[in-house]
Structure 1
Amino acid sequence: MRLHNPHHRILFIPSLSGRQRLSPLPSFSNAVHEKHHLTSSSRDYRTSWITRVEIPIPFVPSRRIQLIIPLPPRFVGSLLPSARSGRKRNGTVLILIAFLFLWTIFAFTKRFATRSKTWPQPFSGDPPTLVYERADLRRMWLWEIASGHYPSNRPLPVAVGFQSMPLNPGIPKPQKNNLSGLLNATTIGTGVSRTYFHVNVTDPSFPPRPVPGSVLDLDIVQDNCEFSTNQYVRDCLEVLRMGAGLDNGKSIRRGNADKWKHIFTEGKDADGMTQTTPVLANFLDEANPNEGLEFSRKAPREPPFLNYPPPKPSTPIYHIFWAGPFTDKPYIAILSFLFTQNVGLHLPRNSPPSKEVCRPQIWLWINPGPAAAIANPRARSDMYETLAANPWSAPFLHPRFEDVVKFKLWNTTEQLDGVPEIKDEWRIFGGSIFNSGGYVYEVKIDKEAEKASSAGASSLANDTLTTAEEPRKQQKNGIYDRLGSKSQQDYDRMSVILSDMARFILCHRFGGTYLDADTIFLRDWEELWGWKGAFAYRWSRLEKYNTAVLRLNKGSALGSFLFRTALKNDFDFHPMTVSRYTKEGHMEGLLLRLPDALFDSAWLNTEGYQNDRPPFPYLTDFHHLFSLPREHGAAPLALGFEGFFRGAFSYHFHNYWWEPFDPSRNWPDLGLRFIKSERKGREEAAAASAAPATDPKENVTDDMRDLSWATVLKRTFEAYIRGERPNMYGEYINWS
């Protein structure tokens, strides 16, 4: 095929004034191109269908950028006055033409060659996600408020359009002689009275347990901890420490700190409380009921939100989702839970349950295979066999922990079918439910494999999922076959996407709080559990959610809103996308965005913020949990658990699944009661390092000299299980 002058270019050449002007003559990059032009049967460059334009790079006179414009030179030349006129010219028009051409190609590709089949939105950013009308959003708010899930004095969103102040059983009734609170209120309190206090320290050696039934006032916590109002993490942690009495024996006189009181107990005046039930009032007298709302362009609006069931009570359950072999990461998460929470391990095993304390539980949801794996009919029995054989998980099968540590088998189909809002519709996505921030990881349905599996097995979409790109046997260790993250390069992305969805399912179905497995409990959550609303926490400096900690009430209207909205937006549960759902639906007040100081105290420092007054320890990289700079290496051993972000509820170390907590003792070290797990762990650690197994009576000189924070925390939790020290609150484990 003959090309029509493929090497002809329009060249911008310098003028005496230093500006660029368009040369009317052909220009060639070398003699070969010129000869090709001269011998071509079509020598008139204006008959070509493309034009090559060279634009000099500023401050680099010897180099030029070449643009190929799919327009004839005659047309391009008509847009630019002739250089012979002597006018000063530049390449602005040509650049604009090239940009418009590329944008057209992109727009048609997005519209016809992608799964979403939508035109791009170049000026409005992400397309809107809202599928509920204003009246429905208002009904949801009223339901949540009447259910006691809004124990806050924060203003209600104006965009929801309340026409009167709702009755709110989550906050106290206004005092008879004090109407100032009512004048500034957006809801009318009908709840019981509150008594605020600082926890009284009686033993300087250990902090006291939270008062049973005490509640954290998150309005006050936000006032003292919110990044957007220039509050420092360091100061926030001091307020939290003082309120909970965590500075036992080490407190410094501060003067009157009543403004810092953020913990309260509720009064006994329930008889005078106005009884309310979930209200689904509808206001139909609005001239333009949806003015100001921007709805999704690719999904129809949802039907009216009516006849919703009453709220369901939930117990203090903490969910963790795990895929892959059990390692030291969930091991540490469970140990930290036992070390800090009021699970009653200091009491005799057969003691009756306390009437005041509701014993929390931690549920470990185990995904037995890759996120898109073939169903296994023996999955449950295999799970327990694997847990019993794994040195990191076997200790938690001990009868002493059976009331507080629960292992649960994750089954995607079963869980999705258990959510009423989506059970009849989620299958329309087929193998496209793995969506993370708009990036869909396609899998395909393998009907033959499904037939081969036993009738009792269930897998994703009632079919077996395999990769869409190539057969399984050709994609060993590919993204669809990974189970657990073994390194930063070998990252199990599919399980992460599945966990983004799983946390909402678990909290909506069972109630409770979800935590990522890379989370370490640092104090009792009694007061935080007492707050009846839903929450996640802030994505560092951004006004977005991080759902590494997520609290939802069981079967709530908020949960229904999130699932129906996600269903109509390609089943995307990425926290950034969820942030769009709540913002566009004006539901952010119902899913409170807590300061990350409570759960992620180092995050701002790792991104270069608040480094002028950082909290302690000062970690500028999440990896510093496992390996501190040498000049700071003395702190962990000198200060121990008590010196690690004292006041925060937990610490999220952001992945690093492949970094051992204790490199020199990379096995469960829980004493003679669990010696089998220790021996097996030693053997596996020796095999992994190609070194002989170490002597259980090794010398101190065999250990690392400087211990990291991760190592100190691990050994502290293990010493509690061995019975060598009490837990955080001075309680020894009771094995009787």
Structure 2
Amino acid sequence: MNNELPSHSSAIEEKFERHRSHPSAWTRPLLLPIPGVRTRRLRILVPNAGPFNPLHAARLRRRRGPLLVGLACIAVFLTVILVSKSVGGSDWSEQYSSTGEPPTLVFRREDLQRIWKWEVASGHYPSHDPIPLQIGMTETVVNPVLPPRPPSIKPSRYRSPGAVNVVTETHGSGANRIYLDIQSQPPSVAYPPRPVPGSVADMDEIMKHCHFSQGKYVRDCLEVLRIGGGLDNGERMRRDNLDDWKYIYLEQPNNSTATIISPPPRQPSAQRPAVMKKKGEVDPDEGLVKKRGAEWESQVVLSSPLRHRPASTLPEPCDPENPRVYHMFWTGPFTDKPYLALLSFLYTQNTGIHLRDWPSDAKVCRPQFWLWINPGPAATVPNPSAVRDMFNMLKNSPWAAPFLHPRFKDVIQFKLWNTTEQLDGIPEIKDEWRALQESLFNSGGHIISVKKKNATATTSVNATSSTDEDDLESRLGSKSSSSYDRLSVILSDMARFVLCHRFGGIYLDADTILLRDWEELWGWKGAFAYRWSRLDKYNTAVLRMNKNSALGTFLFRTALKNGLDFHPMTVSRYAADAHLEGLLLRLPDAMFDSAWLNTENFQRDRPPQPYFTEFGDFFDTPVQNSAAPQALGFRGFFRGAYSYHFHNFWWKPFDPARNFPDLGPRFKDGEEQAKAALRRAALAEKAAAAASLRGKTAADDVDSALQDLPVSVGDKRDLDWSTVLKRTFEAYIRGERPNMYGEWLAW
């Protein structure tokens, strides 16, 4: 009689058999002893002979048809792949990208390594985050902005087989860091203190408290930013130890010489696959996904790395390699939008206008604001008198004229934008960009083709004034949601990278309001933008880049091979495909765009203050929240954030009841001019409506009716947030209140 009982028994194997998803599994576990380790065994899977016993073999014969069909499909699939590779003659890596989008990469691994080394050596990577494994760095890189610390060397048994001979950590050789406890000291707690000159924001610490992907709330992030920056003056609640919330530090130079301790060399692992270009030759760019149809860039030419010096060791407070310039780009008539951006700059930044004269021995680097004016439609070329015409336009604009006052000449400058001149100023593309001029307006791969004008038309900013106002090429600014100036928006996507690469500094979109001093952001020498809400993409409404950097070279050469597309989503692909996202840090949007997640229905269980469910709430605050603007004022508006981005709404006035610059007697002429313009617009609208009823043209006695027509219908009972901020900034210029740091403007 045949005995079906097993000849041996194992409780572990029986447990695996009971939990097996299918009774006829093709493998079974086998436990092998590990030499030198008595308490553990190595579990491996071996072919299971069970399915081949007579009973299972009979079942297999009944299922032979479906099995053969499956094997045939696999064989056909592999054959198609092999044939397509041999016929096409291109690498698999050129055809497919892990992100599912067309690849953009045109730089080899060797050049990516050189870009990383240049940026780290120049002090542009003040982070402990590792260099991506895909960069394949084989030697330790000295980081002059990190304090020295012993390198962490993993035991060999914990090293990944794919990481052989790859170094991901940088070795700090810089100054020590002293983290600051910034507070107003009693009894002077009415206003927060200015940031300490030369202080630096530790972005690693900020990311620890503010990273959306790690489940951090905007509300909690703002509290850390507020307390760590000393903005909770007189309102700090007793909490547990707040040392973990300190994110601002000073560099304390040390005289010690750092010794680089490199990890021991490791032998290549046989488990790591290698792509063979020729027999016996390993592909050095294995794993990189090249842009389809593009050639690799020739070896990138970089200047010598910059020398990082702590602020305390500089001969002057301003570092010439790190100019403190805010850039902003504007097209069309000057309105209340750039007007409020400039007022917020004067209200929050350490411009020195609270002093009679800027001291020659100042310890603070004085920031400047450069407003770049594109005088005509985005597709036109300025005429020879464009600079004179620009300043005439500014003088005649009630919204712009106040900033031409001599009191602001050292901190606010208006500059003419000329696309040709600016692109010619970028060495990386100056000899090649003209080949793309007919497709220059490229946004996310969507190209707006601009017709060539005749010689007369292309030399005058007024060349398109006679065309239809709704024509896309002739638009000057966005007058409504239906007449959006798309070309200017696309041009500004490129302009921000051009300006930061040529001149250094920080670019701000014109729909941005500054909310605090950026001293410690200037102290952080790396490049950054911020997160696109819930997505791991960039929003470049705030962009910081270093002048003539290796990162800038990479971006412009990559953009040139991708149609000069600088849309934020496309730039996100550039950085991701090249594994350079660490060099263009994606900061939390809580720092610059605190309402964004709420407007997309995220974190509404614990929203920040104020609570906006859509960006329009800034201009039309919902009734249920309308007590907050007047009760809390500027101090209650996303306190802790560095700026606020209200996302367009160019056609919505900040202050409908007082839609004119209200800056006091010094600027009375401009105020009256703006009021007259409002009266004319209102009267023209009223006359046009009356004429349409009578079937006649508008009345001719417009001037006689101007004085009798009111400017507005009066204030709302509950003022909106936009109105409260505008009137707060204007009160500072009028001398009726100090700025956010308690400083009074000195005329």
Q: SS where residue 680 of structure 1 aligns? A: helix
Query: Contact (CA 8 Å) 1:374, 1:465: kept in 2 or not?
Result: no
Q: Which residue of 1 aligns with 2:266?
A: none
Q: Equivalent of 2:296, from 301, 305, 308?
A: 301
Is residue 418 from structure 1 mapped to residue 418 from structure 2 by the alignment? no
User: Aligned-pair distance for 1:314?
Assistant: 2.5
Distance of 1:322 and 1:395 partners within structure 2: 17
Q: Say whether residues 1:713 and 2:713 are aligned partners.
A: no
1:126 aligned partner: 101
**1:404 matched to which residue of 2?**
411
Q: Equivalents in 2 of 1:560, 1:616: separation in Å?
A: 40
- 5 Å matches for 1:467-478? 475-478=468-471
Cα distance, 1:697 vs structure 2: 12
**How far off is 1:687 after superposition?**
2.2
Number of the residue aligned with 1:251: 236
Q: Does 1:729 align with 2:741?
A: yes
Q: State the TM-score, normalized to the length of structure 2.
A: 0.75
| Residue identity matched to 1:169 | P
Per the alignment, residue 697 of structure 2 pairs with none
The alpha-carbon distance between structure 1 residues 399 and 189, as it changes in their structure 2 partners (threshold 3 A), is same
- Superposed CA offset, 1:181-235 (max 9, x none): 9999811001011001220312210000000000000001001001000000000
Matched, 1:431 2:448: no
Q: Tell whether the 8 Å contact from 2:119 to 2:305 is kept in structure 1 after alignment.
A: no
> Any idea what SS the aligned residue of 1:656 has?
coil
Structure 1 residue aligned with 2:334, among 307, 317, 326?
326
Q: Distance in 2 between matches of 1:698 and 1:713?
A: 21
> What SS does structure 1 have at the residue aligned with 2:474?
coil
Paired position in structure 1 for 2:605? 612
Distance in 2, Cα, partners of 1:420 & 1:212: 34
- The residue correspondences of 1:640-719 to structure 2 (distance < 5 A) are 640-690=633-683, 702-719=714-731
Deviation at 1:334, TM superposition (A): 0.3
The counterpart of 2:184, out of the listed 201, 209, 212, is 201
Aligned 1:561-580 pairs, distance under 5 A: 561-580=554-573
CA offsets 1:384-410 (integer angstroms, 9 cap, x no match):
000000000000000000000010000
8 Å CA contact 1:192–1:273 kept in 2: the answer is no
Q: Which amino acid aligns with 1:199?
A: I
CA distance in 2, matches of 1:123, 1:269: 45
Q: Does 1:228 align with 2:221?
A: no
2:144 to 136, 151, 169: 169
The equivalences for 1:567-606 within 5 A come to: 567-606=560-599
Deviations 1:478-528 (A, max 9, x none): 111101000000100000000000000000000000000000000000011
Equivalent-residue separation in structure 2 for 1:571 and 1:179 (angstroms): 41
CA distance in 2 between partners of 1:480 and 1:572 (Å): 19
State whether structure 2 residue 274 is matched by structure 1 residue 267: no
Query: In the TM superposition, what is the alpha-carbon distance from 1:476 to its structure 2 partner?
Result: 4.0
CA distance in 2, matches of 1:719, 1:274: 56
CA positional deviation for 1:632: 1.0
Aligned: 1:336 with 2:344? yes
Tell me the SS of whatever aligns to 2:145.
strand
The match for 1:315 is 323
Separation of aligned partners in 2, 1:726 and 1:696:
35
Deviation at 1:628, TM superposition (A): 1.0
The answer to whether the Cα contact below 8 Å between 2:131 and 2:168 also exists between their aligned partners in 1 is no
Residues 416 and 426, structure 1, Cα contact 8 Å, conserved in 2: yes
Aligned residue identity for 1:306? V
Determine if contact 1:144/1:557 at 8 Å carries over to the other structure. yes
Deviation at 1:315, TM superposition (A): 1.2
Structure 2 residue identity aligned to 1:573: F
How many Å separate the matches in 2 of 1:142 and 1:347? 43
User: Does the C-alpha gap of structure 1 residues 682 and 693 become closer, same or farther in structure 2, counting only changes over 3 Å?
Assistant: farther
Q: Secondary structure at the match of 1:520?
A: strand
Partner of 1:158: 133
TM-score by length of 1: 0.77
Is the CA contact 1:371–1:480 (under 8 Å) kept in the aligned structure 2? yes
Distance in 1 of aligned mates of 2:364 and 2:336: 30
After TM superposition, the structure 1 = structure 2 runs for residues 482-561 of structure 1, keeping only pairs within 5 Å, are 482-561=475-554
Whether the 8 Å CA contact 1:616–1:643 is kept in 2: the answer is yes
Does residue 240 of structure 1 match 2:258?
Answer: no
Equivalents in 1 of 2:115, 2:595: separation in Å?
35
Q: Is the 8 A contact 1:431 1:465 kept in 2?
A: no
* Residue 390, structure 1, aligned to residue 363, structure 2: no
Pair 1:582–1:122, CA change in 2 (3 A): closer
Distance 2:339 2:153 in 1: 48
CA contact (8 A) 1:682 1:694 kept: no
SS of equivalent to 2:528: strand
Q: Distance in 2 between matches of 1:241 and 1:405?
A: 28
Alpha-carbon distance between aligned partners in 1 of 2:405 and 2:335, rounded to the nearest angstrom:
18
Name the SS for the 1:705 alignment partner: coil
Please say if residues 205 and 248 of structure 1, whose CA atoms lie closer than 8 Å, have aligned partners that are also in contact: yes
CA distance in 2, matches of 1:533, 1:188: 17
Quickly say closer, same or farther: Cα 1:392–1:185, change in 2 above 3 A.
same
Identity level (%): 59
Change in 2 beyond 3 A, CA 1:446/1:672: same
Alpha carbons of structure 1 residues 538 and 465: separation in structure 2 relative to 1, 3 Å? farther
Q: 2:284 aligns with which of 282, 289, 298?
A: 289
User: Secondary structure at the residue paired with 2:456?
Assistant: helix
Structure 1: distance between partners of 2:324 and 2:154: 33
Contact 2:529 2:587 in 1 (8 A): yes
Task: For 2:153 and 2:409, locate their aligned partners in 1 and report how far apart those are by CA, in whole Å.
Answer: 48
SS at match of 2:402: helix
Looking at structure 2, the residues matched to 126 and 214 of structure 1 have their Cα atoms a distance apart, in angstroms, of 41
In 2 relative to 1, CA 434–592 (structure 1 residues): closer, same or farther, beyond 3 Å? same
The Cα shift of 1:125 comes to: 3.6
Pair 1:346 & 2:374 matched: no
C-alpha contact 2:197 2:363 (8 A) present in aligned 1: yes
AA matched with 1:139: R
CA distance in 2, matches of 1:499, 1:132: 26
Aligned residue for 1:387, secondary structure, equals helix
Distance 1:231 1:526, change over 3 A: same
2:132 equivalent to 1:149: no
Letter of the structure 2 residue corresponding to residue 209 of structure 1? R
Q: Does the aligned pair in 1 maintain the 2:97–2:289 contact within 8 Å?
A: no
Q: Cα distance, 1:356 vs. partner?
A: 1.4
Shift of residue 444, structure 1, vs aligned partner: 3.1
- Compared CA separation, residues 124 and 530, structure 1 to 2 (3 A): closer
Deviation at 1:373, TM superposition (A): 1.5
Residue 179 of structure 1: how far off its partner (Å): 6.5
User: Quick check: 1:437–1:573 contact (8 Å CA) kept in 2?
Assistant: yes
Question: What is the letter of the counterpart of residue 152 of structure 1?
Answer: S
Deviations 1:144-170, CA, capped at 9 Å, x for gaps: 000000000001100000112211002
Please report how far the alpha carbon of residue 443 of structure 1 lies from its aligned counterpart in structure 2 after TM superposition.
Answer: 1.5
**Contact 1:371–1:495 (CA under 8 A) maintained in structure 2:** yes
- How has the CA–CA distance of structure 1 residues 335 and 307 changed in structure 2, closer, same or farther, with 3 Å as cutoff? closer
Mapped partners of 1:305, 1:526: distance in 2: 33
C-alpha contact 2:513 2:643 (8 A) present in aligned 1: yes
Q: State how far apart, in whole Å, the 1-side matches of 2:467 and 2:388 are.
A: 29
Shift of 1:299: 2.0
